[in-house]
Amino acid sequence: MKKIKLMTVALAAMILAPAFSVTGIVTPTSTITANAASQSTVISKIKQTPDLSPTASVRHFTKGTYQANQAIFDKQYNVEKMSINGVFNNHHATVYTNSSILKGYVAASIKTWNNALGSNVFSVGTKTNHTILVRFGSGGTNASDWDGLYKSNTLAVNRKHFNSPSYMLTVLRAITGKNVQAPQTDSEKAAFEKDYFGFWEATITHELGHSLGLDHTPYMNDIMFAQNGSASSDAKYGWQTGKNGNDTFAGLTNVLSNRDVNRAKLTKLLGYW
C-alpha cells in the first residue's frame, strides 16, 4: 500500500470500541517467588525495547517477576486483563458464532492469531461448548459508537456498518485521503470486495486481541491500532493521531505486526490468557 495520508476528522468514522478491563480480576501478587528480578532491572530492560513492543529481552523473567511488576508491564505496553476467568483454559479459548455470515470472518481471524503465535490459541467452538461468543450488535448510540466490541467473553460486530457499502467507502476515504467512489468495473469491484473482507476480518482479529489482554496502540500497522487514546494505568501515553508504522494499515490487511505478537506473548506470561 502507498504511504497513508490520514485525516483525523475522516478517521473518526472508523470506530473501534474502548477496551473493557475485567474489574476485580487481576493476576495475584500475594505469592511472589524469591528469585524475582528487581524493579530497577525490569525498568532498565523495558527502556531498551522499542515503543510498546515487549521483545524477547523482557519475556524471559520468572513468573514472580511478572506478578510483582504487573502494573509496570501493563502501563509500558498498553495491556491489561480483559477476559473473565474461564475464557482461556491452558492458554486456549473456543470461539463460536451462530451467524452463518460471520463464520468465515471468525475462522480467518482465528487463523491469523494462531499462525502468528505458533499455537492453537483459538479454535472454533459449538453452541453448547464455547468460551467466546461472536454476534452482531447494535453499534451503540445511533449505531455509530463502534465497529467491534469485546467485553468479558462476548465479541460484537456492528450490524449496520457491516451491511453498509457506503460505510466501507467512508473507511477507504479515511485511509487513503482520496475521494473513493463506489466501484464500477469488475476490477474495482474485486478490489472493493477484498478491502471489505479484510476490514471486517481485521475488526474481529482486533477484538480477539482484546480478549488476549491487548489494549490499543497508535501504530497503523498494528491490528490493535486506534486513532486516539488517553494515558491511563494501562496506557503508556495518550495520542490524537495515528503513527504510520511501516506505511501499511492492518485494518485492511488483517496482518499482525511484530508489536501485536510481542504484546500477546507478554500477556500470556502475565496470565491474561
102 secondary structure, DSSP code: T
> Is residue 24 scored above 60 in pLDDT?
no
Q: Choose among 19, 17, 15: nearest CA to 267.
A: 19
Characterize 205-215 residue by residue with b for buried, 16 or more Cβ atoms within 10 angstroms of its Cβ, and e for exposed.
bbbbbbbbbbb
| CA 166 to each of CA 13, 192, 233, 254: distance values in angstroms, whole numbers, following the listed order | 12, 11, 37, 21
Q: Choose among 63, 74, 69: nearest CA to 38.
A: 69
The cell numbers describing 273, all together, are 490468557
- How much is the pLDDT for 197? 97
pLDDT digits (tens, 9 = 90+) for 162-177: 999 999 999 999 888 8
Going by pLDDT thresholds of 50, 70 and 90, the confidence category of residue 251 is: very high
**Spatial CB neighbours of 140, under 8 Å, sequence gap ≥ 6:** 17, 146, 149
Tell me the pTM: 0.91
> Is residue 13 scored above 60 in pLDDT?
no
Summary mean pLDDT of the chain: 90
